[in-house]
């Protein structure tokens, strides 16, 4: 059973980013741009998780969160906030949100939090370890082992490897990788992807070969080639 996620957000770019990314990961996504409608749906339907924007046109995210909890809904809530003010984060958590993420964020950063929340809520489809040949990646401890030996990766390299290991043999364009790992508002060219892939390959030893270049398109992870 794929988890059902309610997204309450009014910003078109972010909606598109979330809808595309979450559907791609196999989640069942419902989007509403209104705080009131979001509240009503979250109260009357069954969702495994709610992604809640703080700034909404009709009712702010704090109110939605407070009312959901007041009505006894214990669905995990991740708040999105454009503000960097620590007070907002504290207030969100005080009102019953489980986690928050500050915009702009990368998709994988959000995904890691969603998975952590779903695991904690007992959604067993979320594994803590990904395995491919002698390569083991732990999504909770962020430890990577190759044939039992730890490999030290930067957060970006880790995010790239996690994405590849979750989707073996799938071809990712450099643009998709930029979008997924660096974020929807990243401004820069795809050379940065090539550089990080190159570092990642070097660190992965024999499994570096598993990250194959698909000429003119991008990259794909073929664990059997490692
Ligand atoms: Ca908003």
Q: How confident is the model at residue 188 (pLDDT cuts 50, 70, 90)?
A: confident
> So what's the pLDDT on residue 189?
83
Distance 11 CA to ligand 1 centre (A): 5
> So what's the pLDDT on residue 125?
67
In this predicted structure, the answer to whether residue 89 has a pLDDT above a threshold of 80 is no
In this predicted structure, the answer to whether residue 12 has a pLDDT above a threshold of 90 is yes
Name the CATH superfamily housing domain 4-120: Response regulator (3.40.50.2300)
> Distance between CA atoms of 51 and 6, rounded to whole angstroms?
6
Q: How confident is the model at residue 93 (pLDDT cuts 50, 70, 90)?
A: confident
Distance 125 CA to ligand 1 centre (A): 30
> So what's the pLDDT on residue 83?
66
Distance 53 CA to ligand 1 centre (A): 6
Question: pTM for this structure?
Answer: 0.73
Distance 122 CA to ligand 1 centre (A): 30
Q: Is pLDDT larger for residue 204 or for residue 127?
A: 204
pLDDT tens-digit map of 104-122: 888 888 998 998 899 888 7
Average pLDDT of span 77-92: 80
> So what's the pLDDT on residue 124?
64
Distance 15 CA to ligand 1 centre (A): 10
Average pLDDT of span 148-156: 95
Q: Is pLDDT larger for residue 1 or for residue 215?
A: 215
Q: Which fold has domain 129-225?
A: Arc Repressor Mutant, subunit A (1.10.10)
pLDDT tens-digit map of 25-48: 889 999 999 999 999 999 999 999
Average pLDDT of span 181-210: 90
Show me where the domains of the chain are located: 4-120, 129-225
């Amino acid at each position: 059973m794929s988890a059902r996620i309610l997204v309450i957000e009014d910003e078109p770019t972010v909606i598109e980013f979330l809808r595309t990314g979450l559907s791609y990961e196999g989640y069942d996504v419902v989007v509403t741009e209104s705080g009131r409608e979001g509240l009503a749906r979250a109260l009357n339907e069954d969702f495994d998780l709610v992604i809640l924007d703080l700034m909404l046109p009709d009712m702010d995210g704090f109110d939605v969160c407070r009312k959901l909890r007041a009505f006894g809904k214990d669905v995990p809530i991740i708040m999105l906030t454009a503000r960097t003010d620590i007070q907002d984060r504290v207030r969100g958590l005080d009102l019953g949100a489980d986690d928050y993420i500050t915009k702009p964020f990368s998709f994988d950063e959000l995904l890691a939090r969603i998975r952590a929340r779903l695991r904690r809520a007992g959604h067993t489809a979320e594994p803590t370890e990904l395995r491919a040949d002698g390569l083991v990646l732990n999504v909770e401890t962020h430890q990577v082992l190759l044939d039992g030996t730890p490999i030290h990766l930067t957060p970006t390299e880790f995010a790239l490897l996690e994405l590849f290991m979750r989707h073996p043999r799938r071809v990712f364009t450099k643009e998709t990788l930029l979008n997924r790992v660096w974020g929807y508002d990243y401004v820069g060219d795809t050379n940065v992807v090539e550089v990080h892939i190159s570092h990642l390959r070097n660190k992965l030893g024999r499994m570096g070969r598993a990250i194959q270049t698909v000429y003119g398109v991008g990259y794909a992870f073929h664990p059997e080639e490692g």
